[in-house]
């Protein structure tokens, strides 16, 4: 790691101000940023830690509306009783990110802003049609995640939270990369009043995406059998040492089936 100046922001406004220092980066758990800095792949001059800002943490469930603060840890998402009732698929997802250390440090805002193509949350946000709330505006998930590690966030913009309407049914199934245990393919299915949405993480060459073929099949019948036999093209899938595009195309269908089973359980 190179030497770096650490700042603990006291408020969102304070964070926005500090973010103008040198080549500053936000720190919200640091589960990706710190390892990248240790191996000198990332070299910010300043770190602005927003994970201690009280206003950024916490979960509220009001009727069908769920709001989660950006600095809420995966552990807090995984163990929130109200959320477990409103959207158990999301607590399940959060409870299976990384390991206990990661879940107690990593935050939903940090994960979303980083948009790692193998992260779990982007799939949930896209399938739940969530709204990403920043210190400047609100952005729909579909417009927020723009590519590998790319988002619609502009300079100085901070993810302060997310909100979504709890779906009637939802499920998440992931096949972890054997080494990193990130999602090699993760599928989040959600059935809401506007229909079925299926979002896939870990598999697409441009990051998280919606599978319209699987959505169409599930719209007819929200059963695992509806997905059976779907052959997805490997053309847009990511390929690496651990999984070829063909293998990932297969995993998307298999995980979608399992996500539907979980949603119907």
Nearer to other proteins, 141 or 237 (CB): 237
Q: Could you tell me the smallest distance in angstroms from the CB atom of residue 236 to other proteins?
A: 18
Nearer to other proteins, 78 or 125 (CB): 78
Q: Could you tell me the smallest distance in angstroms from the CB atom of residue 230 to other proteins?
A: 13
Nearer to other proteins, 58 or 224 (CB): 224
Q: Could you tell me the smallest distance in angstroms from the CB atom of residue 68 to other proteins?
A: 27
Nearer to other proteins, 35 or 195 (CB): 35
Q: Could you tell me the smallest distance in angstroms from the CB atom of residue 194 to other proteins?
A: 30
List residues binding other proteins (CB under 8 A).
Answer: 1-3, 39-40, 175, 178-180, 241-244, 247, 250-251, 254
What is the C-alpha to C-alpha distance for residues 186 and 176, in angstroms, rounded to an integer? 8
Nearer to other proteins, 119 or 159 (CB): 119
Q: Could you tell me the smallest distance in angstroms from the CB atom of residue 134 to other proteins?
A: 29
What is the C-alpha to C-alpha distance for residues 230 and 45, in angstroms, rounded to an integer? 49
The answer to whether 131 and 141 are in contact (CB under 8 A) is yes
What is the C-alpha to C-alpha distance for residues 186 and 175, in angstroms, rounded to an integer? 6
Q: Could you tell me the smallest distance in angstroms from the CB atom of residue 246 to other proteins?
A: 8
Nearer to other proteins, 117 or 167 (CB): 117
């Amino acid at each position: 790691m190179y030497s770096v100046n650490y700042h603990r922001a006291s408020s969102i406004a304070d964070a926005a101000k500090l973010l103008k220092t040198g080549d500053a980066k936000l720190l919200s758990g640091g589960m990706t940023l710190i390892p990248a800095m240790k191996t000198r792949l990332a070299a910010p001059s300043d770190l602005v830690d927003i994970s201690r800002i009280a206003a950024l943490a916490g979960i509220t469930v009001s009727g069908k509306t769920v709001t989660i603060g950006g600095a809420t840890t995966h552990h807090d998402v995984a163990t929130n009783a109200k959320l477990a009732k409103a959207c158990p698929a999301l607590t399940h997802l959060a409870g299976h990110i990384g390991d206990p250390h990661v879940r107690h440090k990593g935050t939903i805002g940090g994960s979303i802003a980083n948009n790692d193509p193998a992260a779990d949350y982007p799939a949930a946000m896209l399938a739940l049609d969530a709204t990403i709330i920043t210190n400047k505006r609100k952005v729909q998930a579909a417009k927020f995640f723009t590519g590998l590690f790319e988002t619609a966030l502009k300079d100085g913009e901070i993810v302060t939270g997310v909100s979504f309407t709890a779906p009637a049914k939802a499920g998440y199934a992931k096949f972890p990369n054997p080494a990193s245990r990130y999602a090699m393919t993760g599928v989040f299915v959600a059935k809401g009043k506007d229909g079925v949405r299926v979002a896939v993480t870990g598999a697409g060459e441009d990051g998280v995406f919606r599978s319209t073929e699987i959505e169409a099949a599930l719209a007819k019948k929200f059963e695992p059998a509806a997905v059976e036999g779907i052959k997805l093209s490997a053309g847009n899938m990511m390929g690496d040492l651990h999984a070829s595009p063909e293998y990932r195309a297969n995993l998307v269908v298999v995980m979608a089936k399992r996500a539907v089973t979980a949603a119907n359980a």
